[in-house]
Structure 1
Amino acid sequence: MLAFLFVDGWGLSQDPRSPLQALDLPTLQALTGGFSSQLFAWAYRVLDATLGVEGLPQSGTGQTTLLTGTNAARLLGYHQGPHPLRRLQGLLREESLQVWSQARGLEVIHANGYRQEYLERIRTSRRNLLSAFAYAARSAGLELRSLEDPLALAPAFWDAPEKAGERLARLAERHDWVVLENWALDYFAHREPDLLPQRFSELDRFLRGWLEANPSATLLLTSDHGNAEEPWHLQHTRNPVPLIVVGPLAATVPPMSSLTDVAPWVRSVLGK
């Protein structure tokens, strides 16, 4: 049982101006050794998000890499975002963790709740409006749920973050694996960086709720590229991103150094 909490746009920074250094984030700080840049613990890794390609990392290629294990930026020769285009769509349809899981009969939930008007836009648009995570879910035949669906979770802006974290824990215990895509940090880093402290605090409290629920499931948290850790500008960064694994499967996490390392590990633990 695994929950994949994807947090868009969160890199690591030791700059004293960074929210990671300035804010009180007790849960995140405990899980990462104070956002260390060192690979000091078996449940925490620091991943390169540049994928060996020049330019600033982007969501389309970063997320596709996380979900397939294939270096999507190197495949294209550049970083692409925010929504995967034709070549990345083909890769997700063939190699994403969601499609792989469905082929093996695993029970998977894409837990994001969407506004009804957004779901309608997706249905009628001639171009892809989905993130790589949502595109992979739809490619696997998973339902994209409305916010009113009893199995859906709001991806951000939780009124009670601890209770939302507990809900994800209980959902994960009832399925082979669950995906929740949190886009708030990236969104606010691009548009309203002054509000990032609230978003980081919500994430910290969400994780506290998961931990206090003491679930039998494992939580995997990672990101696709840096952004919110440097709110003094509105661009992505080339900073590494964190990977945190909490729960029974944490002891099985091998050495990792890149976004390409995540999908192979997920396949190894879910394939047993």
Structure 2
Amino acid sequence: MLLLFVDGLGLGGALEELFPLLLALKPQPLDATLGVEGLPQSGTGQTALLTGVNTAQFLGRHQGPYPAPSLRPLLKRSLYAWAKEEGLPVLHANGYREEYLKRALDPKRLRLSAFALSAHLAGLPLLPLGHPLALSPLLEDPGAWGKKAARLARDFPLAVLEYWALDLAAHRAPETLPRCFQELGLFMESFLEACGELLLVSDHGNAEEPWHPHHTLNPVPLVSTAPAPPPPRDLTGFLPWLQTIITSKYKKSERNT
């Protein structure tokens, strides 16, 4: 299956106009505030998704964009680490420019998103662009990337793609948001036509309100096009929810073989 993580996508705002496909998939709302005042941020939000820990309460604040050093021990016990311990092949499918990886992996900086950092800490490779298993996070050819993502989703119990273009556009170039939403929608349509099983989640709101460049307090979407248990209430419930889906699907596959 494919876990599509979309950075900076909340429910509300102008989604009916910008991203009708998402609403057609009947997303469930997840609370991204985690009971802490202030606007949710990527470092704590993504780490909460990946670890099940209320990281905003852990730090006493929302923090981002990259996870603080004090969150790294938590990320060593992330979704990726769990999958490896369970013997489940897992793929962090993002492709990266080699010059970016060289800078980002500098031990003095480690300027990686929580998803990329937790994959790295679990011993998974961070793939260069052009690698046979890598997907471009910019989705320049969304139809082709959707078909490739479907192939990867069939080959791995869990393949993860982190799509950060919405959040970046909302902060820096909101006029490009319609194009980003269109590309994401075309990617998802192509994927669903070829595969059919998609999980989608976000860490905080942002792009759904294109009239300002800030994060929002809106809940974030949780989508599953496959059978799933009742949805969790907030970001911290995502990991156990996903573990239940993966374990059930993998054990069923083993029985069928």
TM-score by length of 1: 0.87
Partner of 1:236: 215
2:167 to 186, 194, 203: 186
Which of 259-268 and 54-63 deviates more? 259-268
Is 1:83 the equivalent of 2:66?
A: yes
Report deviation, 1:26: 4.6
Is 1:99 the equivalent of 2:78?
A: no
Partner of 2:255: none
Partner of 2:113: 131
3-state SS of the aligned residue for 1:252?
Answer: coil
Encode CA deviations 1:102-150: one digit per residue, 9 max, x unaligned.
1121101100000111011123351120000001000110000011111
In structure 2, do the counterparts of structure 1 residues 257 and 104 end up closer, same or farther at CA, with 3 Å as the change threshold? same
Gaps of 5+ in 1: 33-43
- Using the alignment, how far apart are the partners of 1:27 and 1:233 within structure 2? 23
Equivalent pair of 1:60/1:132 in contact (CA under 8 Å)? yes
Q: Which runs of 4+ in 1 moved over 4 A?
A: none
2:189 to 205, 208, 211: 208
2:141 to 160, 185, 197: 160
- Using the alignment, how far apart are the partners of 2:17 and 2:28 within structure 1? 22
1:143 to 105, 125, 133: 125
Equivalent pair of 1:27/1:205 in contact (CA under 8 Å)? no
Gaps of 5+ in 2: 252-257
3-state SS of the aligned residue for 2:105?
Answer: helix
- Using the alignment, how far apart are the partners of 2:172 and 2:229 within structure 1? 35
- Using the alignment, how far apart are the partners of 1:125 and 1:196 within structure 2? 34
Partner of 1:63: 46
3-state SS of the aligned residue for 2:50?
Answer: helix
2:175 counterpart letter in structure 1: D
Partner of 1:30: 24
Partner of 1:39: none
Identical counterparts, % of pairs: 54
1:263 to 227, 239, 242: 239
3-state SS of the aligned residue for 2:147?
Answer: helix
1:73 to 24, 44, 56: 56
TM-score by length of 2: 0.92
3-state SS of the aligned residue for 2:160?
Answer: strand
Equivalent pair of 1:85/1:128 in contact (CA under 8 Å)? no
The number of residues matched between the two structures is 248
- Using the alignment, how far apart are the partners of 1:123 and 1:57 within structure 2? 25
Encode CA deviations 1:154-189: one digit per residue, 9 max, x unaligned.
012x23212211211110111110110000000000
Equivalent pair of 2:10/2:221 in contact (CA under 8 Å)? yes
